[in-house]
Amino acid sequence: MAKILVFDEKCVGCGKCINVCPFNAITLENKKAVIGDACVMCGACERNCPFGAIKIERMQGYEQDISLYKGVWVFAEQRGGETAGVAFELLGAARKLADRLGESVAAVLIGDVVSEQAKELIAYGADVVYVIEGNDYENFSDELYADACIKLIEGHKPSIFLLGATAYGRSLAPRISSSLETGLTADCTVLEIDRESGMFVQTRPAFGGNIMASIVCPARRPQMATVRPRVMKKPEPDFGRIGSIVKFAPVIEMSPKAKLLERIQEESFGVSLADAEVIVAAGRGISDQKNLALVEELARLLNGAVGASRPIVDEGWIDHSHQVGQTGRTVAPKLYIAAGISGAVQHVAGMSSADFIVAINRDKDAPIFKIANVGIVGDAAEIIRELIAQLKSS
């Protein structure tokens, strides 16, 4: 375990450490700094004390010269030559972080024939795109992709590395962070740079969404985080931006334990949740599984997709791929119709970015009405039937 020490003989009681501590862990007693239990060993006070009065004693072999690490990197996920939307969203976030730090943004693009996609990544904010290309990388392999990323990171030493919290990103990120013995925060909702310490602060919901936890990685680099698709806003591309494309061909010294045998397309109703501009979502208040047919019909008429709250997924009424919320998908449609959904924080976490929310609930005090643009008090099934009838007659 690391230990934090204050050398009383050096401390002059100037209070600078109190101002830089993001966790309010320091007080002055008899004009000497005293560090309390809230300390998370972020190191901001150690770096900022003008008198060298604070020292963190770290585990042996754990020290890293973090001043060597610069730049904000994004894993530019792609499938079949198409860049995932989350890569652009992360580039937007990376650009803001890098500008705040006065550093550059790089994207890591891995696949078979992917070079063409690099220009798009530059348009969305990358200054450099590292391209790792070849047959070996045609299909996603967490082992091979992680190996390539680790070699690149070891060579170039980025300070921050962001990945999408997708099936690919979620299997890649922990492999990289554990190999590099650095921290990783999953499913972040806010990424920012602490004004005083310059530390990368990664915020995510914790304890069932009841609190927001701000997490820092003080002693190791890169500082790693994943973010779900559609949590960050996609920036406007600028195809006039200039950037460089750097090819990297790592020596492959391993043979992956897993290989792709077959691709099976997931069966799903209509438009996918991720792409839908309209989502009609059902909760426990639709009362009966049979009423899901009404929800599907309304979604079809609006050229939308069907979403669900967790209880009806748990009941087995609908597949988990439709679940919206903290343990389901994050969506940002133009229109979200929440039918018989109470508005629990864990559900709202996945849909509050919708442009326009219509809530149908028989309880006029249901929390969902607090975030809804339009609220309809009444029986969900009955109102959906009426909406269907109106749409069909219009």
* The binder of ligand SF4 chosen from 2, 5, 9, 16 (CB under 6 A): 16
- Per-residue contact string for residues 50-79; x = within reach of ligand SF4 by CB under 6 A: -x-xx-------------------------
Sole window of 74-82, 94-102, 150-158, 326-334 interacting with ligand FAD (rule: CB under 6 A): 326-334
* The binder of ligand FAD chosen from 78, 159, 309, 330 (CB under 6 A): 309
Distance of closest approach, residue 356 Cβ to ligand FAD, in angstroms? 19
Name the H helices within 13-74.
Answer: 16-20, 44-48
**Local structure of 46: helix, strand or coil:** helix
Q: How many CA atoms lie within 13 A of 271 on its CB side?
A: 22
Question: Is 48 or 327 the residue whose CB approaches ligand FAD more closely?
Answer: 327
Q: What is the spatial distance between Cα 11 and Cα 328, in angstroms, rounded to a whole number?
A: 50
Beta bridge partners, 224, equal: 161, 184
Distance of closest approach, residue 269 Cβ to ligand FAD, in angstroms? 18
The tokens describing 15, both together, are 């209070």
Q: Does 341 sit near ligand FAD (CB under 6 A)? A: yes
Q: Does 215 sit near ligand SF4 (CB under 6 A)? A: no
State the binding partner of 298 from ligand SF4, ligand FAD, none, CB within 5 to 8 A by kind: none
Q: How is 356-382 classified by DSSP, letter by letter?
A: EEEEEES-TT-THHHH-SEEEES-HHH
What is the DSSP code (8-state) at residue 65? -
Written as one letter, the residue type at 108 is V
Instruction: Give the residue among 387, 390, 392 at the shortest CA–CA distance from 376.
Output: 387
Q: Does 14 sit near ligand SF4 (CB under 6 A)? A: yes
Backbone angles phi, psi at 56, to 5 degrees: -100, 125
Q: Does 134 sit near ligand FAD (CB under 6 A)? A: no
Helices 292-301 & 380-393, crossing angle to 10 degrees? Answer: 30
Sole window of 17-25, 66-74, 86-94, 206-214 interacting with ligand SF4 (rule: CB under 6 A): 17-25
* The binder of ligand FAD chosen from 55, 284, 300, 385 (CB under 6 A): 284
Q: How many helices (H) and strands (E) does the chain have?
A: 11, 21
Question: Is 149 or 313 the residue whose CB approaches ligand FAD more closely?
Answer: 313
Beta bridge partners, 184, equal: 224
> Would you tell me which residues interact with ligand FAD (CB under 6 A)?
208, 283-285, 287, 309-311, 323-328, 340-342, 344, 346-347, 350, 360-363, 366, 379-380
> Would you tell me which residues interact with ligand SF4 (CB under 6 A)?
4, 6, 11-17, 20-21, 23, 25-26, 33, 35, 39-45, 49, 51, 53-54
